[in-house]
Structure 1
Amino acid sequence: MNALGQQAHFITLSTPDLEAARDFYVVGLGWEPLLDVPGEIIFFQIAPGTVLGFFDALKFGQDLGHEPATQGAHGASGMTLAHNVGTRGEVAGVVRTMQAAGGRVVTSPREGAFGGIFHAHVADPNGVIWEVAHNPGWSIDDDGGVNLS
């Protein structure tokens, strides 16, 4: 393995409303924080060795050395986080749960235009877009390796 190791251990997103993120993921979806620093950041373990963090936008900008007036341009955009489920029917159930937690449905469950998937998109209260998908060509080996066919 090379020095970079083809790994990402932390995915950290700037969020303009940390309380809304906390309410959506903890209260609405029932996620358990790995670490929760009020007014600063909240981390969730989302896979073995992988953590998803939501960092208060002002503190995120400070961490990157940006002045508060310029830090807003550095938030997440042009990306999705994905949650794959085992069946097409589960897509709608997860979307309903996310919507009840305060998420906004961006695209209702439907056939995907690419890759033979059935999916939907939901934005969390801060605009982070989640794809909820059933992809029959996606699987995980016992050792954690991902297969895409």
Structure 2
Amino acid sequence: MDQRISLVTLGVADLDRSIAFYRAIGWEPHPRSVAGEIAFYQAGGLVFALWSRVSLAEDSGVADGGGWGGITLAHNVLSPDDVDAILAAAGAAGARIARTGAPTEWGGYSGVFIDLDGHPWEVAINPGWPIADDGSILLP
């Protein structure tokens, strides 16, 4: 198996509500999305998707006990102002801000929002991980 991730799918309670939330923070579904069933987003070199939490659990062969699934997603940006702006947009769209933007012990700046279905997103600037023009990050 190649060392890469092709697709990240989040299980959501209400697809339309989740699409509206992600639209409010600047994400637009890809035209190949299936209305009322699944939303796809081109996210750099991978695909991000929103799908029914029940359907995702069934398809993945797991029992969904609810709660946090042990995964935090991250979105790296170029400046602390970008971190704060994204956190503000997420909060205005209904997200819970778990950690406001602040300097980190590793020399960056980050904050965390929790989306409408309980998925945590860290928004960060990491001076040790430069962002290429296409938005990708390669570990130095």
The percent of aligned pairs where both chains have the same amino acid is: 34
SS at match of 1:11: strand
Higher strand share: 1
Q: One-letter code of the match for 2:44?
A: A
Judge conservation of contact 1:105–1:121 (CA < 8 Å) in 2. Answer: yes
Q: Does 1:125 align with 2:125?
A: no
Output the TM-score relative to the length of structure 1: 0.80
Q: One-letter code of the match for 1:61?
A: A
5+ long unaligned stretches in structure 2: none
Partner of 1:53: 49
Partner of 2:15: 18
Alignment CA distance shift 1:145-1:101 (3 Å) = closer
Tell me how far apart the structure 1 counterparts of residues 22 and 56 of structure 2 sit (CA, whole Å). Answer: 19
Number of corresponding residues: 138
5+ long unaligned stretches in structure 1: none
Partner of 1:139: 130
Q: One-letter code of the match for 1:62?
A: E
Q: One-letter code of the match for 2:94?
A: G
Partner of 1:89: 81
Deviations 1:52-95 (A, max 9, x none): 111101211332345xxxx4227762221111111122211111
SS at match of 1:13: strand
Tell me how far apart the structure 2 counterparts of residues 101 and 125 of structure 1 sit (CA, whole Å). Answer: 9
Q: One-letter code of the match for 2:130?
A: S
Mapping of residues 40-119 of structure 1, within 5 Å: 40-48=37-45, 50-65=46-61, 71-73=63-65, 77-113=69-105, 115-119=106-110
Larger radius of gyration: 1
Tell me how far apart the structure 2 counterparts of residues 85 and 141 of structure 1 sit (CA, whole Å). Answer: 11
Judge conservation of contact 1:13–1:54 (CA < 8 Å) in 2. Answer: yes
Per the TM alignment, residue 134 of structure 1 is displaced from its structure 2 partner at its CA by 1.2
Output the TM-score relative to the length of structure 2: 0.84
Q: One-letter code of the match for 2:6?
A: H
**Greater than 2 Å deviation, 4+ residue runs:** 35-40, 71-76, 140-145
Tell me how far apart the structure 2 counterparts of residues 145 and 128 of structure 1 sit (CA, whole Å). Answer: 22
